[in-house]
């Protein structure tokens, strides 16, 4: 079973941090069109995890996704890391996001992905808060070490149930492969752009489960500038040392020129479904339950 997902946030990030440049919106709109056309051509339905703020400020983006029959999920309201929130703040953020998204989408929003995969052992209470807000499916667990977020002690490799304090969600973890004994993601973001297409395809084709994830930024092939110290600190809420900014710069630019082509090949050679349709195919009484 292969799932494909997109995190939709760039319009809001541009407005909040970079001054709402019209040419950027035109670029994001064009990339979204290419993605939607490609998915339609391949008869593939995806899950688009969208910010509540996109539904408020750019409702046409949500409408375009929904009109093509894709699932709209929630990617928080304002793209703040869950590790920086209290349970009360997460409850408010999630409720606001769901309300705004459902208003435009016209259907229930029950799938969720945390910004930067920011659900880990230290804030496992997020599972309870999300369940209370009406979320049923989660795709926030990244079972490997990463700069932000990550849940490296999580061992399930396929869809499972996660429970915290008696509340349960259907979990669709990010998939990893072992390289030199380390669990490394391969099916989205910078990892997908960095690894050779043949390796990604072979791993997906020989796995029982894969979860691909993309951002609009993955497909922008004009080089992004290195963030200033101030920009970095406002956005990532950590010290903007040169080395941190350099790492981010390399990660955000690597392989972007070829990413759309790679995705095109992948959806041509493997079949992908949304979380909603995977949910219908899984016998949930047979999967493992992880109490976190």
14 binds Zn ion (CB under 5 A): no
Reduced to 3 states, what is the DSSP secondary structure of residue 137? strand
**Shortest gap between Cβ of 139 and Zn ion (angstroms)?**
12
Q: Which is nearer to Zn ion, 7 or 218 (CB)?
A: 7
Minimum distance from CB of 13 to Zn ion (Å)? Answer: 8
With CA atoms as reference, report the closest residue to 2 among 276, 283, 211.
211
Helix (H) or strand (E) run with residue 202 in it: helix 197-205
Among 9, 14, 71, 163, binds Zn ion (CB under 5 A): 9
Q: ∠ CA 259-22-33 to the nearest 5 degrees?
A: 40
CB 77 within 8 A of CB 98: no
Q: Give which of 137, 81, 68 is closest to 109, Cα–Cα.
A: 137
Helix (H, G, I), strand (E, B) or coil at 73: strand
Select 7 or 71, whichever has its Cβ closest to Zn ion.
7
Look at strands 160-164 and 167-171 and give their pairing.
antiparallel
* Closer residue to Zn ion, CB minimum distance, 115 or 120: 115
Instruction: Return the range that interacts with Zn ion (CB under 5 A); candidates 5-13, 53-61, 102-110, 188-196.
Output: 5-13
> Which residue from 159, 197, 155 is spatially nearest to 178, judged by alpha carbons?
155
x/- site string to Zn ion, residues 39 to 78, per CB under 5 A? ----------------------------------------
Using rule CB under 5 A, residue 279 touches Zn ion? no
- Binding piece for Zn ion, criterion CB under 5 A, among 2-10, 102-110, 119-127, 165-173: 2-10
Q: Provide the minimum distance between the beta carbon of 285 and Zn ion in the complex, in angstroms, as a whole number.
A: 32
Nearest CB to Zn ion, comparing residues 8 and 175: 8
**Strand 111-112, strand 47-50: pairing:** unpaired
Residue burial 135-163, b: 16+ Cβ < 10 Å; e: rest? bbbbbbbbbbebeebbbeebebebbbbbb
DSSP-assigned letter for residue 77: S
Stretch touching Zn ion by CB under 5 A, among 8-16, 123-131, 162-170, 237-245:
8-16
Q: Which residues, 92 to 131, sit near Zn ion by CB under 5 A?
A: 115
Kindly give, in sequence order, each residue whose CB lies less than 8 Å from that of residue 289, ignoring residues fewer than 6 positions away: 160, 161, 162, 163, 168
Q: Specify the DSSP class assigned to residue 39.
A: H
In whole angstroms, how large is the CA radius of gyration of the chain?
18
If the CB atoms of residues 197 and 236 are measured against Zn ion, the closer one turns out to be: 236
Applying CB under 5 A, which part among 9-17, 104-112, 137-145, 179-187 lies near Zn ion?
9-17
- In the complex with Zn ion, the residue whose CB is nearer, 9 or 93, is 9
Question: In the complex, what is the shortest distance from the CB of residue 115 to Zn ion, in angstroms, rounded to a whole number?
Answer: 4
Least distance (Å) between residue 113 CB and Zn ion: 8
- To Zn ion, the closest distance from the beta carbon of 76 in angstroms equals 8
7 binds Zn ion (CB under 5 A): yes
Distance in Å, CB of 37 to Zn ion, minimum:
23
Chain contacts with Zn ion (rule: CB under 5 A): 7, 9, 115
């Amino acid at each position: 079973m292969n799932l494909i997902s997109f995190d939709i946030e760039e319009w809001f990030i541009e407005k909040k941090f970079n001054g709402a440049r019209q040419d950027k919106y035109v670029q994001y709109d064009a990339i979204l069109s290419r993605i939607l056309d490609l998915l339609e051509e391949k008869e593939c339905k995806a899950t688009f995890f969208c910010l509540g703020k996109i539904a408020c400020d750019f409702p046409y983006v949500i409408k375009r996704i929904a009109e093509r029959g894709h699932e709209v999920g929630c990617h928080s309201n304002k793209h703040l890391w869950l590790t920086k929130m209290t349970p009360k703040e997460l409850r408010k953020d999630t409720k606001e996001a769901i309300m705004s998204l459902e208003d435009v989408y016209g259907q229930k929003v029950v799938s969720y992905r945390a910004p930067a995969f920011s659900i880990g052992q230290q804030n496992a209470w997020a599972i309870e808060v999300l369940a209370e807000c009406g979320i049923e499916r989660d795709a926030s667990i990244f079972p490997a070490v990463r700069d932000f977020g990550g849940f490296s002690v999580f061992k399930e490799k396929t869809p499972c149930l996660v429970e915290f304090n008696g509340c349960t969600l259907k979990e669709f973890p990010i998939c990893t492969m072992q390289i030199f004994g380390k669990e490394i993601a391969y099916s989205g973001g910078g990892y997908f752009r960095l690894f050779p297409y043949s390796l990604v395809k072979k791993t997906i084709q020989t796995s029982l489960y894969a979860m691909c994830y993309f951002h609009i930024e993955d497909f922008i092939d004009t080089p992004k500038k290195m963030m200033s110290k101030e920009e970095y600190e406002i956005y990532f809420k950590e010290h903007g040392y040169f080395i941190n900014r350099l790492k981010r710069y390399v990660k955000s630019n690597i392989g972007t020129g070829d990413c759309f082509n790679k995705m095109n090949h992948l959806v041509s050679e493997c079949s992908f479904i949304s979380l909603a349709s995977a949910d219908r195919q899984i016998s949930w009484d047979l999967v493992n339950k992880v109490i976190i």
